[in-house]
C-alpha cells in the first residue's frame, strides 16, 4: 500500500499541532527522525509553537519534566521510533515519579509498513508502558485530534502523568481536513475527603507522636504555612518526602527537612513516631534493599493515616484539616544563620555556604548533586526564597535537562543546577541546548572524579578495599573529565574552581550575568 | 524481610562471575549502580574478568556489540535497574539486528523490596523484551548459575542474540556455596538443507535474472569467494543486505555492493530481477515508508527463494550450492583504481579517497557516517583488506561504542570510526572509555553541522523551504559543536581538518601512532 499525503496544512500532523496549541501546549522538545518529517513540516507551519532541539532524547524528556514542574502545564516531546523512545525513558521515569504532566509523541513506521519489520521496527507499547501512565496508538489520520486531546487530558489530570502517543507516519501525512481541534477534558484535583480530614484530626489529638509527611503541591509556600499552623496547634512534626518534584523554600518560608536518603539516617529521623499522616506523599521506603536492613524506615507499629492522595487538592486538604484542629497563624521560625564564607580547600560544605549566601531571589535550584549535596538544605533555609527541584526517580542524568526545561519555563529566573560529575555525563548534551536557547543557567559540577555514592555502597557490602576491577568501575579519573572543555565544546562558557574563594568569585560572577555558565568545582 | 548476605566468594554474584568465566565470557562492559554492588564486589575477586566502565549505558551495550562482532563470542554487560537498561536499549536494538550475541546482566531490587515500589522500581521485563531475544529473571541465589548458563546459551546459539538476565540484589548477595559453574549448551549453526540447496540450484539454472542476497557470515572473505564462484558459474548477481554486522572486503577480496539506502536507488539496484535468493539475509525492505512509494524495493512478481536462514551454517550452504551448480574457482576482478588524493575543499569524497589510499592492513572500519558515507564503498574496494561494521538497526549512536568494543576485541588492529556529527553526540561518552582503555581508534567526525539526512527527508516531504521551527530542529550550528574540545575534555587527543590535504595529513599521522585520536573533518 502506498497511501497518498494530505495537503500541507490539512494533514494528521497539522491536526496534532493544532490540538496541542488549542489546549495550551505550545512548547515542543524534539529529537526528530525520518518518520516524523511530516510532523516537523507541520510544526514549521505553526509559529506559535516553540520547538527546542535536544541532541539526545534524555535531554528532551528531562527538559519537558523541568518545564512542566515550573510552568504547571505539559510540554510536548517529539521522539523517533522505539530506539528514540528508549533513550527518553530514564527521564520519563523521573517525571513519572514526580507526577509531571508530559505528552510524548513517538513517531512510528507507517501502519502498512510495520509488517515488513524494517530495521527500526520495535514494540513501542512494551517500551512505553513501564514509564507512562497513559499509552495510546493513533488509529487513523481522522483519529489524530481526539487521540491527542485524550493524551493531553491524561497528562493533565491531577496530579499529572507521563502520556505517550504513538503516531504512525501515514496518519501524520494522511489527510485530516477541517478537523476542529478537540479540547482536552482536564479533571481537577479531588476535594478533601471529610472522613479523612476527620480521621487525621482525631489522630492529631490523640497524644501520639505524629509525623506529617508532605509532597507534591503540599510543598508550595502557602500550603506549607497551613501545615505549619497544623503542627503548631497539634505538636506534630512536618517532614517532606525524600525526593520531591518541587519545593518552595528559603527565608520567610516554612523550614522543613526531607526524609534522609541513607538508610540509617532515615531510620533515625523517623524513630519514635507512632503515627504518620500522608499528604500527597508515598509511605516512606528505603531507596534500595540491604542485607539485614528493613525496606522501610518507618518504625514497626507506626500507624499510617492518609489525609490526601497525590491526585487530591493538597492545599485544600491541609486547610480543611487546619480548620478541624483549630489551627491559628503559623509561627515561622528564624532560619539558622548561614556560616561565614570560607577560603582555602574547596569542599561540598564550602559550596553550600556560598550558595546559602549568594542564591539570588527567586532562583530555581535543580539538584542532582547526589552524595555532595545531601546536607545542602541546612545551609539554605535562610537563603533568598527559591524553588528546589529534585531528580525524583533515581534515574541518573536528570539534573541538566531539568535545569534546561525550568529555564525555558521561567526565563526571568536564575536557574542553578547542582550537578554530580558522574551523573552529568549521562545527558551532557543538555549543555548544547542551554547554549542554543541562551538559557540563564549556572551549572555547578561537583567534580569528585568518582562514583562516590557507589564507593560508599561498596564499603557497606563489606568487600574490603576495592581491587583493580572495582576501582576501574567506580573511579572517574584516568583520565579526569575536563568539564570546562566539554562545556566549551558545546558552546557554554565555563571555568574551574579549585579553592573556596575561587568558587565564590565564579559563582558571584555567574549570578550577575545572564546566560549559561558552567563551574567545574574540583572537590 | 532482611535476608543475610553470603560469604564473600560464595555469593550468587560469585556464581554468576564463575559461570561467565567458565563459558569463556571474560569481558564485562559495566555501568553499575547500588543494586549491583555485590556483583561489583564479586567481579573484583575475579582477576580473569576484564571490566570496562562506560559512562553511559549506550556505550556499554554498543561496545559489547562491537566486541562480539569481532571476538565471535559474547561479552557480558552490567546495567543498573530499569532506567539503566532503558539507556542501553538503543544499542541493544542495533545488536539485535546484527544478530550479535550479548549477555546483559540487569540488577534489580531485592525480591522482597520490590512490592515497596521504591523510586527506581520499574517493569524491567517489559523494557527488555522488545530488544532481547531471551529474557530471564533469576529466581534464587541457587538458580544463578543455571540461569546464567541458559542466558549464555541463548546468546551464543547461531546466529546469536541479545540475552537479558535480571539479577535481584538479594540473589546476588545471597549464599550460593559450592556451586559448580554450569556449562552453557551452545547449539551450532544448522547444516545446509539439501532441499533448499536443490531448489536454489534449480532456480539458478532456469535462465531467469537472479540476485543472491548475502548477510551474516556469508560476508566473510572465504564465503564470499564461494558466492562469487556460484555467480561466475550461473550469471547471478551478488549483493549484500543494506546493513550488515561485519563484512570482509578490500584488495584481493570479492567486491560486492549493498542494497542502497535511498528508496529510489534501492528500487533501481533491484530493477529487472526475477528471482532473489536469500543467504542469511532478510527480504529487502525500504527503511521507512513514504507516501506513494512501495515498502520493498524488490520488483513485483520477483520470486523469493531462501537458501539459508541466519541461524544456518551460511558458508556451508554456499559450498553445497557451489557444488550443486558445478562452480569452479572464483574470478576476482581487479578493484577500480582509487582516484588521486585531492587538495583544497574538504568533502566526503575527498575523505573517502584518503581512506581508500591510507586504510592500513587489517583495519576495522566502524561506520556511522550516515549521509556522508553512503558512497564510500566504491573508493575502498581496492584498499588494504579490512572489516567493515555497520550500525545495523538504525538506532543512532552506535558508531563510537561499536569502535570501542571492536578495539577491545582486536588490540592489534587499527579501528577507524566514520562518524556523523549528529549521531556522535548520542553516545559521546564513548570517547572517555577509548581514553581510559587506551584503545587504538581513529574517530573521523563528519562535521556538516546539521542532521543532513533529515534535511533531505524534509525536502522529500514537499514542505518547501524550511522555516524557523524546522531549521531549529534540523541544524546543529548556533552554536557549532567543537568536537576537538569535547574529545579533549574526555581525554582523547584531537585536531580539526578544514582542507583535503589537512585531513590527509592528520589521518596519516593517526595511522602511524597508536591510541585514540579524533579528527573533526569540517565538510
Q: pLDDT for B75-101, tens place per residue?
A: 999 999 999 999 999 999 999 999 999
DSSP state of A235: -
Where is average pLDDT lowest: A303-307, B178-182, B240-244, B326-330?
B178-182
The predicted pLDDT at position A458 comes to 86
Over the stretch B428-472, which tens digit does the pLDDT of each residue have?
A: 999 999 999 999 999 999 999 998 888 888 887 766 788 999 999
Task: List the single residue in B8, B84, B489 with the smallest CB-CB distance to A482.
Answer: B489
- Put simply, the answer to whether A426 touches B40 (Cβ < 8 Å) is no
Cα distance between residue A433 and residue A67, in whole Å: 14
Chain centroid offset of residue B39 CA: 27
pLDDT, tens digit (0-9, with 9 covering 90-100), for A71-122:
999 999 999 999 999 999 999 999 999 999 999 999 999 999 999 999 999 9
Q: Is B370 on the interface with A (CB under 8 A)?
A: no
* Full-model pTM: 0.98
Between chains, do A37 and B461 touch, taking CB under 8 Å as contact?
Answer: yes
| A249 phi, psi to nearest 5 deg | -150, -175
CA-based nearest distance A362→chain B, Å: 29
Residue A520, SS3 per DSSP: strand
Backbone angles phi, psi at B389, to 5 degrees: -110, 135
Cβ contact B122–A130 (<8 Å): yes
- List pLDDT tens digits, range B169-226: 999 999 998 778 888 888 889 999 999 999 999 999 999 999 999 999 999 999 999 9
Name every chain B residue with its beta carbon within 8 A of the beta carbon of A460.
37
Given a cut of 60, whether residue B41 has pLDDT beyond it is yes
Contact (CB<8Å) A288/B118: yes
Report chain A residues whose CB lies below 8 A from the CB of B397.
56, 87
Residues from chain B contacting residue A479 (CB–CB below 8 Å): 432, 435-436, 490-491
Nearest CB to A122; choose among B52, B118, B130: B130
User: Do residues A416 and A503 touch, judged by C-beta distance below 8 A?
Assistant: no
In angstroms, the CA B336 to CA A516 distance is 52
pLDDT confidence of residue B236: 98
Closest Cα of chain A to B357: distance in Å?
A: 31
The DSSP code for B11 is B
For residue A345, count other CB atoms closer than 10 A to its CB.
11
DSSP secondary structure letter of residue A217? G
Helix (H) or strand (E) segment spanning residue A150: helix A144-156
Interface test with A, best of B174, B489, B491, B515 (most A CBs within 10 A): B489
pLDDT of residue B458: 86
> Which residue in B46, B119, B283, B371 has the most chain A C-beta atoms within 10 A of its own C-beta, making it the best mutation to test that interface?
B119
Q: At what angle do helices A221-234 and A314-325 cross, to 10 degrees?
A: 30
Q: CA of B37 to nearest chain A CA: how many angstroms apart?
A: 6
Chain B CB within 8 Å of residue A264 CB:
no
Report the C-alpha dihedral over residues A256, A259, A262, A267, rounded to 10 degrees: 120
Q: Which region holds residue A82: left if phi is over 0, alpha if psi is between -120 and 50, else beta?
A: alpha
Identify the closest residue of chain B to A48 by CA–CA distance.
Answer: B469
Q: How many CB pairs under 8 A join A and B?
A: 366
Question: Quick one: cell of A389?
Answer: 527541584
> Is B173 close to A122, i.e. CB distance below 8 A?
no
Q: Hey, is B18 helix, strand or coil?
A: helix
Interface test with A, best of B16, B36, B130, B245 (most A CBs within 10 A): B130
Give chain B positions within 8 Å (CB) of A51.
469, 472-473
Cβ-based contacts of A457 with chain B (< 8 Å): 34, 37
Q: In the prediction, which pLDDT does A82 show?
A: 98
Instruction: Closest CB to A458: pick one of B37, B83, B97.
Output: B37
Closest Cα of chain B to A67: distance in Å? 18
Q: How far apart, in Å, do the first and last CA atoms of chain B sit? A: 61
Q: What is the DSSP letter of B344?
A: S
Q: Angle B17-B20-B24 (CA atoms, 0-180°, nearest 5)?
A: 135
Across the range B332-339, mean pLDDT stands at 91
Positive or negative, the CA dihedral A356, A360, A362, A365 is negative
pLDDT of B463: 67
Count, residues in chain A: 523
Segments of chain A with pLDDT less than 50 = 1
Q: Determine the pLDDT at residue A76.
A: 98
CB contact under 8 A, A35 and B458: no
Chain A residue with CA closest to B122: the answer is A130
Q: CB contact, 8 Å: A104 with chain B?
A: no
Residue B463 has its nearest CB partner, among A33, A41, A122, at A41
Q: What is the pLDDT of residue A186?
A: 82
B494-503 per-position pLDDT tens digit: 999 999 999 9
pLDDT value of position A3: 76
Q: Which three cell numbers stand for residue B475?
A: 541544524
Burial label, A456 (beta-carbon count in 10 A; 0-12, 13-18, 19+): middle
pLDDT at site A463: 67
Edge-first strand order for the sheet with B363-368 is B247-249, B386-390, B363-368, B415-420, B441-447, B517-522, B493-497
Which H helix or E strand runs over A59?
Answer: helix A57-71
| pLDDT (tens digit per residue) in A150-168 | 999 999 999 999 999 999 9
Q: What is the pLDDT of residues B397-431, one digit of tens each?
A: 999 999 999 999 999 999 999 999 999 999 999 99
The H or E element containing residue A16 is: helix A12-22
Task: List C-alpha distances in Å: B283 to A448, B155, B258, B293, B302.
Answer: 52, 24, 13, 17, 11
Amino acid at each position: 500500500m502506498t497511501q497518498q499525503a494530505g495537503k500541507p496544512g490539512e494533514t494528521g500532523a497539522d491536526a496534532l499541532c493544532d490540538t496541542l496549541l488549542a489546549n495550551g501546549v505550545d512548547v515542543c522538545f524534539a529529537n526528530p527522525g525520518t518518520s516524523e518529517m511530516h510532523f516537523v513540516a507541520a510544526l514549521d507551519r505553526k509559529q506559535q509553537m516553540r520547538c527546542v532541539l535536544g541532541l539526545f532524547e534524555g535531554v528532551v524528556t528531562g527538559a519537558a519534566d523541568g518545564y512542566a514542574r515550573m510552568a504547571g502545564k505539559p510540554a510536548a516531546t517529539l521522539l523517533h521510533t522505539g530506539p528514540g523512545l528508549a533513550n527518553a525513558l530514564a527521564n520519563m521515569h523521573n517525571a513519572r515519579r514526580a507526577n509531571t504532566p508530559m505528552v510524548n509523541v513517538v513517531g512510528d513506521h507507517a501502519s502498512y509498513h510495520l509488517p515488513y519489520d524494517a530495521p527500526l521496527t520495535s514494540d513501542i507499547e512494551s517500551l512505553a508502558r513501564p514509564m507512562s501512565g497513559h499509552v495510546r496508538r493513533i488509529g487513523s489520520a481522522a483519529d489524530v485530534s481526539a487521540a491527542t486531546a485524550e493524551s493531553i487530558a491524561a497528562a493533565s489530570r491531577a496530579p499529572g502523568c507521563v502520556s505517550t502517543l504513538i503516531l504512525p507516519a501515514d496518519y501524520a501525512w494522511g489527510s485530516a481536513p477541517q478537523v476542529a481541534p478537540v479540547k482536552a477534558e482536564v479533571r481537577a484535583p479531588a476535594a478533601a475527603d471529610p472522613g479523612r480530614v476527620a480521621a487525621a484530626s482525631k489522630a492529631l489529638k490523640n497524644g501520639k507522636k505524629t509525623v506529617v509527611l508532605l509532597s507534591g503541591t503540599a510543598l508550595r509556600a502557602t500550603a506549607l504555612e497551613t501545615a505549619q499552623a497544623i503542627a503548631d496547634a497539634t505538636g506534630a512534626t512536618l517532614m517532606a518526602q525524600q525526593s520531591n518534584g518541587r519545593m518552595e523554600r528559603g527565608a520567610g518560608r516554612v523550614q522543613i527537612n526531607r526524609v534522609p536518603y541513607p538508610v540509617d539516617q532515615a531510620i533515625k529521623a523517623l524513630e519514635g513516631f507512632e503515627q504518620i499522616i500522608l499528604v500527597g506523599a508515598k509511605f516512606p521506603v528505603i531507596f534500595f534493599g540491604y542485607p539485614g536492613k528493613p525496606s522501610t524506615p518507618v518504625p514497626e507499629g507506626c500507624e499510617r493515616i492518609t489525609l490526601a492522595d497525590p491526585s487530591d487538592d493538597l492545599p485544600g486538604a491541609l486547610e480543611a484539616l487546619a480548620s478541624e484542629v483549630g489551627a491559628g497563624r503559623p509561627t515561622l521560625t528564624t532560619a539558622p544563620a548561614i556560616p561565614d564564607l570560607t577560603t582555602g580547600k574547596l569542599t561540598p560544605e564550602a559550596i553550600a555556604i556560598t550558595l546559602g549566601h549568594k542564591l539570588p531571589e527567586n532562583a530555581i535550584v535543580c539538584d542532582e548533586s547526589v552524595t555532595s549535596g545531601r546536607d545542602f538544605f541546612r545551609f539554605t533555609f535562610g537563603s533568598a526564597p527559591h524553588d528546589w527541584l529534585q531528580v525524583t526517580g533515581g534515574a541518573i542524568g536528570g539534573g541538566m535537562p531539568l535545569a534546561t526545561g525550568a529555564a525555558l519555563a521561567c526565563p526571568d529566573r536564575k536557574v542553578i543546577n547542582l550537578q554530580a560529575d558522574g551523573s552529568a555525563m549521562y545527558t551532557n548534551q543538555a549543555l548544547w541546548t542551554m547554549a542554543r536557547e541562551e538559557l540563564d543557567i549556572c551549572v555547578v559540577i561537583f567534580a569528585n572524579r568518582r562514583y562516590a555514592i557507589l564507593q560508599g555502597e561498596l564499603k557497606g557490602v563489606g568487600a574490603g578495599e576495592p581491587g583493580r576491577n572495582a576501582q576501574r568501575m567506580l573511579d572517574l579519573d584516568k583520565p579526569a573529565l575536563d568539564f570546562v572543555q566539554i562545556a566549551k565544546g558545546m558552546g557554554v562558557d565555563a571555568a574551574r574552581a579549585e579553592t573556596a574563594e575561587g568558587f565564590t568569585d565564579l559563582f558571584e560572577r555567574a549570578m550577575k550575568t545572564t546566560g549559561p555558565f558552567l563551574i567545574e568545582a574540583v572537590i
